[in-house]
Chain A
Amino acid sequence: MPYLDKNEMPYPPPKSIRNAIKESLRHINRYTRQEQVDELLNVLSKYNNIDKETIVLSSGSDILIKEFIFLFSELSQLIIADPTFIIINNAALKSSSELLKVKLSEPEFKFPVDVIENELDKPSLIVLDNPNNPTGKLIITEEEVKALLNNENVILLIDEAYYEFSGITFLPLIKKFPNLAILRTLSKSFGLAGSGIGYLLAGKKIQEKFEGLDIMLPSPSVIGAISALNEKEYMNEYITQVNEEKKKMTNQLNNLGVICYPSSTNFLLVKTNTLNIAKKLAEKGVYVYDVSNYFNSNYIRVTIGSHNENEYFLQSMEEIIKK
């Protein structure tokens, strides 16, 4: 039964990583040791080619999004994209700041930075996901990010959960811009969704705000993350497989007459003429994400799964559409 609704890797990470996690369970009666956390910081520092002092670790990046918005909520306005990652949207709605949502219009779904620049005459927290979820699109360029960061009123958080798929990051900019923070996760490209390790990368000014935020990281998650980062070849292979499958799926979906937006992630935003499409697919045993909280119910977000899962999904789509 294909679960193509949460943008997960369709198979587990290599056995060596699973064994490391299994081994860590022998000490599950103990709190995570500081040396283990330090080691994770070291491997992340190496992976991102950045000082470990810039890293804030968390048990999943969702917590960091909520905490970031909470910590900066004294700013007079909060700006997010519409659509955006559901956790960003939910946290923004709970914030006490004034909220400005910015509609990303089809088919380009670009964040209109030139228009936003006119809105930045007061302290503003901007939270964007790039690539964007659920559109799969890169919504902002490096030049545009710099233009926003040059405004002293701005604090910018960019969620790069799908960075490994897009290959585009603004991380090098944190050295020059103390008002930028980048968010990453090991849940997507490293296939550790159930382990839940996310991290924030930012300069001192933002880091200071997070002082005293002690998030307990489960030791199996820490051990799994260290092991995964040390064996990242499997991640590259997964990305290659995603790109091949994505190409095939896009072609076949286009042949079915549905609109499939180009994506820089491991999922596709698909627009059909059939309402309730997510429910109809579920009735056939295929679970995709219903994005009707952002669009009509004729849109879905579908994860690129294994070859067999994708085939099953395409076959189900064909049956529904040609019915």
Chain B
Amino acid sequence: MRKIGLIVNPIAGMGGAVGLKGTDGEIYKKAIKLGAEPITPQRIKLFLSNIKEKEDLLFLVAPGKMGENYLKDLNFDFEVIDEIGEKTTANDTKRIAKEMLEKDIELLIFCGGDGTARDIYDVVDLKIPVIGIPSGVKMFSSFFAINPQAAYNLLESFLDGSELQESEVLDIDEEAFREDKLDSKLYGYLKIPKVKQFIQGGKKASGKKRSEAENKVQIAKYIIDDMKEDVVYFLGPGTTVKSISDELNISKSLLGIDAVYNKELLEKDINEEKILEILREYHNGKIVISPIGGQGFIFGRGNKQFTPEVIEKVGKENIIVVSTEAKLKELNCLRVDTGDLETDDVLKGFIKVIIGPKEKELIEVK
């Protein structure tokens, strides 16, 4: 039997229909007053109705409306984890996820939005893979399946023994979002199943076969070999950029920005003010960044410390974009949203992304 966890956030997505942009914290009460109805049941039912081969699966499920209610009538084997009260909270999600981990689930499926994803991340981190069924209002995190059907396809791939890939969880400031400002930072990474290429035979992709992890190391080595003396390298967030620090044997803040000078750590987890101070002192700087998976943002999501002023001081020609081949193939273009239209315009146009040793991809920034 494959042990799969299932947690549903019953209130996720309720804010959308009544124009509230999210239900984090106390806002969901307002949503209910405005007549919002749960959209999660239809999402989760749609997902579950796709699963035909039920006999090999054992669901460890959150109680009542957090999961149990949807499985009850569908002839699945399941075990209910813990108890919940009338009103459910983020703490319920975290506590139940933790218990499921202790009971050795191999995959956790959850239904919710960015807020739920953060709660799941707080507990699961990169320990086991997850599948996110989208039902929230805010779903900027790239790891969400595009719809319940696609979430089922990911489950299918997982059960089929697919590879896993890391994908970003974003933290969007709901208050700001309600005022039509998008303020986000990178919250962390979750592992998701990767859909395998299906080839009947004949001409296949070959050449440099490499895993995501190998590709990151290749990129890191290339960047390090190319590092100039007396230039400060501002390493942005994310695991691709972090691999550069790993190869240099220096500790890196996964979600923050670190400064590296002559292959040594200069400052860790720095803000705009500190970056500008370093630039005043050392004069020459380069920014190393990686696009956000699925969305392609290189500035404005997850790395707000690189403000328009920082970008202007460093100069477009000193921006180094790195990406694994797998992440880049899913992007039609790169994007910028620095909050300053002039800076965005300077950054727009084609840019070279380093995807491997002696390999670059020219892609448009929009």
A296-B198 CB under 8 A given contacts A86-B203, A92-B207, A94-B207: no
A100-B198 CB under 8 A given contacts A86-B204, A89-B207, A94-B207: no
Chain A positions within 8 Å of B362 at CB level? 100-103, 112, 115-116, 119
**Binary CB contact string for chain A from 273 to 297 against chain B (1 if under 8 A, 0 otherwise):** 1111011001000010110111111
Name the CB-closest residue of A to B156.
A276
**Binary CB contact string for chain B from 186 to 225 against chain A (1 if under 8 A, 0 otherwise):** 0000000001111110111111100000000000000000
A112-B350 CB under 8 A given contacts A101-B361, A273-B146, A290-B199: yes
Name the CB-closest residue of A to B356.
A99
Nearest CB in chain B: distance from A181 CB, A: 21
The complex places the Cα of A296 from the Cα of B361 at a distance, in Å, of 18
The complex places the Cα of A323 from the Cα of B362 at a distance, in Å, of 39
Asked whether B197 lies within 8 Å of A292 as measured between CB atoms, the reply is yes
The complex places the Cα of A300 from the Cα of B150 at a distance, in Å, of 16
| Cβ-defined partner of A292 (8 Å) among B145, B195, B360, B363 | B195
Chain A positions within 8 Å of B145 at CB level? 275
Asked whether B149 lies within 8 Å of A296 as measured between CB atoms, the reply is no
Name the CB-closest residue of B to A6.
B202
**Binary CB contact string for chain B from 325 to 342 against chain A (1 if under 8 A, 0 otherwise):** 000111011000000000
In chain A, positions 11-36 with a C-beta closer than 8 Å to chain B are none
Can you spell out 14 A-B residue pairs with CB atoms less than 8 angstroms apart? A89-B205, A90-B205, A94-B207, A101-B355, A103-B362, A273-B146, A273-B149, A274-B153, A275-B157, A276-B157, A290-B198, A293-B197, A293-B329, A294-B329
Asked whether A103 lies within 8 Å of B359 as measured between CB atoms, the reply is no
The complex places the Cα of A294 from the Cα of B328 at a distance, in Å, of 9
Chain A positions within 8 Å of B361 at CB level? 82, 100-103
5 shortest interchain CB distances as A-B pairs: A93-B207, A275-B153, A293-B205, A297-B195, A279-B198
Asked whether A287 lies within 8 Å of B200 as measured between CB atoms, the reply is yes
B147 touches A (CB below 8 Å): yes
Nearest CB in chain B: distance from A285 CB, A: 11
Asked whether A278 lies within 8 Å of B198 as measured between CB atoms, the reply is yes
In chain A, positions 283-317 with a C-beta closer than 8 Å to chain B are 287, 289-290, 292-298
Asked whether A100 lies within 8 Å of B364 as measured between CB atoms, the reply is no
Interface size of A by CB at 8 A reads 44
Asked whether A276 lies within 8 Å of B200 as measured between CB atoms, the reply is no
A38 touches B (CB below 8 Å): no
Asked whether B205 lies within 8 Å of A86 as measured between CB atoms, the reply is yes
Asked whether B350 lies within 8 Å of A90 as measured between CB atoms, the reply is no
Nearest CB in chain B: distance from A100 CB, A: 5
B352 touches A (CB below 8 Å): yes
A63 touches B (CB below 8 Å): no
Chain B positions within 8 Å of A62 at CB level? 203
Asked whether B208 lies within 8 Å of A93 as measured between CB atoms, the reply is yes
The complex places the Cα of A186 from the Cα of B115 at a distance, in Å, of 57
**Binary CB contact string for chain A from 27 to 58 against chain B (1 if under 8 A, 0 otherwise):** 00000000000000000000000000000000
Nearest CB in chain B: distance from A36 CB, A: 28
**Which B residues are closer than 8 A to A by beta carbons?**
50, 145-147, 149-150, 153-154, 156-157, 195-200, 202-208, 328-330, 332-333, 349-350, 352, 355, 358-364
Chain B positions within 8 Å of A97 at CB level? 358
Asked whether A282 lies within 8 Å of B200 as measured between CB atoms, the reply is yes
Nearest CB in chain B: distance from A185 CB, A: 13
Nearest CB in chain B: distance from A114 CB, A: 9
A98 touches B (CB below 8 Å): yes
Asked whether B350 lies within 8 Å of A290 as measured between CB atoms, the reply is no
Nearest CB in chain B: distance from A210 CB, A: 23
Asked whether B199 lies within 8 Å of A105 as measured between CB atoms, the reply is no
Chain A positions within 8 Å of B350 at CB level? 112, 115
Chain B positions within 8 Å of A298 at CB level? 150
- Other CB < 8 Å A-B pairs besides A6-B203, A100-B352, 16 of them? A82-B361, A100-B361, A101-B359, A101-B360, A103-B328, A105-B363, A116-B362, A273-B146, A273-B147, A274-B153, A275-B145, A275-B153, A276-B157, A282-B198, A292-B195, A296-B195
Chain A positions within 8 Å of B329 at CB level? 82, 293-295
Name the CB-closest residue of A to B200.
A287
Chain B positions within 8 Å of A289 at CB level? 199
A143 touches B (CB below 8 Å): no
| Cβ-defined partner of A296 (8 Å) among B208, B330, B358, B363 | B330
A245 touches B (CB below 8 Å): no
Chain A positions within 8 Å of B355 at CB level? 101
A276-B153 CB under 8 A given contacts A90-B206, A292-B197: yes
Chain B positions within 8 Å of A93 at CB level? 206-208, 359
Nearest CB in chain A: distance from B218 CB, A: 12
Asked whether A275 lies within 8 Å of B150 as measured between CB atoms, the reply is yes
Chain B positions within 8 Å of A294 at CB level? 329
Name the CB-closest residue of A to B333.
A105
The complex places the Cα of A290 from the Cα of B199 at a distance, in Å, of 6
Nearest CB in chain B: distance from A118 CB, A: 9
Chain A positions within 8 Å of B358 at CB level? 97-99
